[in-house]
Structure 1
Amino acid sequence: MGAASKTFELDSLIEACQHALTTDTPQEAIRNIVSDMIQDHHQVRQALGQQNVASVEKLYASETLSIVNFVWAPHMTMPAHNHNMWAVVGVYEGREDHIFWRRKKDAGEGEIEAAGAASISSGEVICMNIDAIHSVTNPTNLFTRAIHIYAGDFFEIERSEWETLSLTENLFDPEKNRERFESENRKYQAIKGR
């Protein structure tokens, strides 16, 4: 990726990731690209902005690659969901706590159980396979920012989400997700206004 590790350039990131997809180990190659990029988190933050608004910002999407800038509000949680494609996540500010889930063996359709956890802070990267199911929490009082890269069109693929209490599987609803982020922003503004 070269110069992009010193100065964040979206076009360079896209080009590097597209090239990585042609290699024998594309996820590992993209993991290395993201790891290199987020070491200079100030450059990434400066390039992408520092608005204190929870958001899902599409930086790039095609049939084979999506690059998304996630901004998580303080204490925000995204319920269990899958992607149906492998992913690489690199935090450039704050922290993401992940709970990993798996489908229960010999259980009803869609039932899941906790299977592990990981916590990644600024400068750290995590990889998820095509079958991964996870929930994400920003455990901090500050906004968390991360680059998520997916091996497909994150915005068009059919996928699932699970209800928080019942862990019932449903089709992922983009409108419900948009409202989730807007609700977090209203909550943040209400607390900030006190």
Structure 2
Amino acid sequence: MPSLKEFASACKQCIDDGGGPAEIRELVQQALSIQAINPKQVEIDEIVYRSEDLFIVSLAQPPHGETPIHDHGIWGVIGIAEGSEENIFFRQTDLGPVEVSRRMVNAGEAIILGPDVIHKIRNPCATGSLGLHVYGGDLPRGKRHMWHPATGERLLLEQSRFEGWCEELTAAGEANYGHLAQLAAPSAT
């Protein structure tokens, strides 16, 4: 696919023809192949397409970037063009979210997330990551949840608070990485 506009048109046609996450995943993987050949193909944090039944965005994660636990309420396909993204999956219990599994998504790979998935993402690398995210609905308008990073309390997702928590978690990840790098550095004795 030579452009993001054509990629979005192919995704919209797929949905209009009755396709779903599996078919969209194939289109995302094709787009990631183009991205690997031409890194300037996808702009960072660009909304590529938005309608009632489809939302496509190019998202970047900074080095050691992390999000709070959240859900989407709709299916999604997450593809990574550059770097890596660790998805940490949870289930809700009476005591809060409990981790159930992890999945690393590397450059050139795409995964499907069901509408009931609860997860957080983390960039484990000292370099940024870039991905294409496609959702089966208008993600910003949907009813979504986030979990307070310190208390585990489930809240309605409020974008500015969510972004603030992303910044805090990323800063903590950077500080932890710096500390680990110092521990691993050879001593000057």
TM norm structure 2: 0.82
Q: Which runs of 5+ in 2 are unaligned?
A: 179-189
By percentage of residues, which structure has more helix? 2
Query: In 2, Cα distance between the equivalents of 1:62 and 1:167?
Result: 32
Q: Aligned-pair RMSD on alpha carbons?
A: 2.2
Query: In 2, Cα distance between the equivalents of 1:142 and 1:62?
Result: 32
Measured at CA, do residues 163 and 66 of structure 1 come closer, stay the same or move farther in structure 2, by a change above 3 Å?
same
Query: In 2, Cα distance between the equivalents of 1:45 and 1:181?
Result: 25
1:18 matched residue in structure 2? 12
TM norm structure 1: 0.80
Q: Which runs of 5+ in 1 are unaligned?
A: 50-54
1:115 matched residue in structure 2? 100
Measured at CA, do residues 77 and 164 of structure 1 come closer, stay the same or move farther in structure 2, by a change above 3 Å?
same
Query: In 1, Cα distance between the equivalents of 2:143 and 2:76?
Result: 15
Letter in 2 for 1:77: E
1:143 matched residue in structure 2? 128
Q: Secondary structure at the match of 1:155?
A: helix
**Displacement after TM superposition at 1:163 (Å):** 1.4
Deviates more, 1:145-154 or 1:111-120: 111-120
Count, aligned residues: 173
**Displacement after TM superposition at 1:57 (Å):** 2.7
2:137 matched residue in structure 1? 152
Measured at CA, do residues 178 and 79 of structure 1 come closer, stay the same or move farther in structure 2, by a change above 3 Å?
closer
1:27 matched residue in structure 2? 21
Query: In 1, Cα distance between the equivalents of 2:59 and 2:165?
Result: 13
Letter in 2 for 1:177: F
Query: In 1, Cα distance between the equivalents of 2:89 and 2:56?
Result: 22
Contact 2:89 2:119 in 1 (8 A): yes
